[in-house]
Structure 1
């Protein structure tokens, strides 16, 4: 006797469709998992950027105020012959005061943009704007500090070749205040350069 065998064909379309679903779900899960750590890292960089801006603002503001109020009058027996030292006696210190005041004002105005970077750490537009202006302000701060440092060096040591006498031998307090302001300005410039490095890491896509 011959037995007839029957075969049932099962369509493979369902199995293929079922096999695709877990792959898409897995890819979404992987993408979400990659985005979350990147967002957290960039938010941490933005918080550090905000704190460093406060430090740089305090340094530039302190340097400008210190130079602005630096004043010393040599005591003499008569009021008609007095020697006084102020920042506006030297054009370099005037430039130093103006430059540090501009940088301090910029840092105050940049704080809202830094807060936006904390709230939206993946946004690139505010970060790019900060990078452009931060680079300009860092150059201005370092230029002002370097110019004032050269004048302060001459004031402390003089120049025998040109018969420039050491200015700070008489006006010690004035020179000490201006020297501290120059150091504060250099610190602010270094902080701005470090902020630029942090911004470069924040702008990385991976």
Structure 2
């Protein structure tokens, strides 16, 4: 008796119940709905926009450093040359030339604007979909590009005359005498052009970010 029960228990096999057609249909329908939803609502591109905003912030700091260097270098440029006695001297200063004065004012304004734009750039990092802030920045960046480029170009023309002179108008080169003066104003002009180029990159970067918005 016991042996027959044990043999019957040993001979039991598991019975696999195949899935019904309705269950398979439901699974396929759910997978189709998920695929359609994913295609209709692609994942947000916040990471790309946040990376662009961070790069914009870094470029603004670089432009600020260049504009401040140009302002400080040109604004502190002054050299005196003794002639015969200590009471009779030749002096060269940035405020002797209107182009250099305009250069200092323009780069000081650019520096102030870049400082004020940093909080807006931080907001653009936090809120990647804030198109209004990006549009405001690109407008003022474009104005500053023209302003800074005009000041740097005017100063570059004076620096060229200081180095080479102009024989047709009897303008003599003064850099052989005022060597330190010419080196400082030349460095200031280079720094201002660097700031202008960075501002151009900021305009292009903001335009691309708005185009992809």
Query: Which runs of 4 or more aligned residues in structure 1 lie more than 3 Å from their structure 2 counterparts after TM superposition?
Result: 17-34
TM-score (norm 2): 0.82
Corresponding position of 1:131: 138
What's the C-alpha RMSD, in Å, of the aligned pairs? 2.0
**Corresponding pairs, count:** 189
Counterpart mapping for 1:38-187 below 5 A:
38-187=45-194
What is the alpha-carbon distance in structure 2 between the residues aligned to residue 56 and residue 79 of structure 1?
41
Structure 1, gaps ≥5 residues long: 1-16
| Larger Rg computed on CA atoms | 2
Do structure 1's residue 195 and structure 2's residue 202 form an aligned pair? yes
What is the alpha-carbon distance in structure 1 between the residues aligned to residue 33 and residue 208 of structure 2?
31
**Shift, 1:197, TM fit:** 1.1
**Shift, 1:45, TM fit:** 0.5
TM-score (norm 1): 0.85
What is the alpha-carbon distance in structure 2 between the residues aligned to residue 146 and residue 154 of structure 1?
13
Query: Could you say which structure has the higher strand fraction?
Result: 2
**Shift, 1:40, TM fit:** 0.9
1:81 match: secondary structure: strand
**Shift, 1:24, TM fit:** 5.3
Structure 2, gaps ≥5 residues long: 1-25
What is the alpha-carbon distance in structure 2 between the residues aligned to residue 31 and residue 180 of structure 1?
55
What is the alpha-carbon distance in structure 1 between the residues aligned to residue 153 and residue 33 of structure 2?
59
